[in-house]
Amino acid sequence: MKAVVLNRISPVEEKPLELMDLPRPVPGRGQILVKVSVCGICHTELDEIEGRVSLSRLPIVLGHEVVGRVESLGQGAGKFKRGDRVGIAWINWACGRCSFCLKGEENLCDSARWTGKDADGGYAQYTVVSEDFAYPIPERFTDVKAAPLLCAGVIGYRALRLSGMEDGKVLGLYGFGASAHIVIQIAKYKYPNSKVFVFTRPGQKEHQDLASKLGADWIGATGDASPQKLNCAIDFTPVGEPVREALKNLEKGGRVVINAIRKATRVPELDYTEHLWHEKEVKSVANVTRRDAQEFLPLAAEIPIVPETQEFKLEEANEALVLLKEGKIRGAGVLRIAE
């Protein structure tokens, strides 16, 4: 099968992903073989390629926003049948027995495996996954539109839930890429009496236009004072500075949730009085659970979420990821794998 493989850690500008011919994987017990149609690209891939997230092996096939059809079933698998459309997300497997798993926090499981990090992902024509970690895709979505829901959407949904957001509160979104442009649509639907303020890099006009199209109540640059204090803020950016900026704009008792697996730069020093006093909170979002995906996908169809997508061929994965790093993708980037 055709696959784009990461063989070495390097800056993405050096185009380290290589198109290769690999043997088609064989589904093990309880697994399904999925013929991949499309795979979304995610910031986490940049962290993996550039060494900020350590991979359990090299070479590896990246990609954890996988949409495809069940091609065959491993022994004992029976939840899906051949031809069913399924999605695969970042969580690839969890033990189901540890204290975290038993509390429904399988996102924190020490033995969990992650798609495209510990197991080959979706930058390939075929992939295998445990049937318990695959999800039916609501009919409303095409393959391309479904892909960004599987990480950008699911983790955005989790971040919004962890932010403590309620109707009437003011929400701030720092960074407006794949995840934030889905979160604003969830927020506008679930919290109709709330305001959503969007902060982007200065001059990031494409992102600002998209935010305005999706109903942002105010749009500014990271570092600007918001017109009203924020009760909840979600930081989607890959750098440290916006964490402090969000804390500056936060209302007393507010919470900043950081939706990023790694930061490319440090969170700057915080001043206790200015940034944290008055019960302000900072919380990170780590990974996702199956429950997040199972709750979010039907909600996405009900709203319905309209993801903005930019398509690339599998062979263009390096170029697409460079554009992602430069903040030049409007909405979410998706690799088309099957013709």
User: Footprint of Zn ion on this chain (CB under 5 A)?
Assistant: 42, 44, 94-95, 98, 101, 109, 151
Q: What is the Cα–Cα distance from 252 to 312, expressed in whole angstroms?
A: 44
Minimum distance, C-beta of residue 119 to Zn ion, in the bound complex (Å): 14
Nearer to Zn ion, 184 or 288 (CB): 288
Minimum distance, C-beta of residue 253 to Zn ion, in the bound complex (Å): 30
Minimum distance, C-beta of residue 286 to Zn ion, in the bound complex (Å): 12
Q: What is the Cα–Cα distance from 140 to 145, expressed in whole angstroms?
A: 9
Minimum distance, C-beta of residue 121 to Zn ion, in the bound complex (Å): 10
Beta bridge partners of 54: none
Nearer to Zn ion, 42 or 246 (CB): 42
Nearer to Zn ion, 20 or 98 (CB): 98
- CB distance 166 to 195 below 8 Å: no
Residues 6+ away with beta carbon under 8 Å from 35: 68, 69, 70, 71, 125, 126, 338
Nearer to Zn ion, 212 or 294 (CB): 294
Residues 6+ away with beta carbon under 8 Å from 26: 33, 74, 128
Nearer to Zn ion, 108 or 301 (CB): 108
Minimum distance, C-beta of residue 155 to Zn ion, in the bound complex (Å): 6
Q: What contacts 24+ positions apart, CB below 8 Å, involve 224-229?
A: 224/199, 225/249, 226/170, 226/172, 226/197, 226/199, 227/197, 228/170, 228/195, 228/197, 229/170, 229/254
- CB distance 126 to 58 below 8 Å: no
Q: Which residues of 2-12 are buried (b: 16+ CB within 10 A; e: fewer)?
A: ebbbbeeeeeb
* Pairing assessment for the beta strands 113-114 and 91-93 based on DSSP bridges: antiparallel
Nearer to Zn ion, 155 or 170 (CB): 155
Tokens of 143: 């393959």
Minimum distance, C-beta of residue 90 to Zn ion, in the bound complex (Å): 5
Give the dihedral sign, CA 109/266/152/221: positive
Nearer to Zn ion, 1 or 95 (CB): 95
Minimum distance, C-beta of residue 288 to Zn ion, in the bound complex (Å): 9
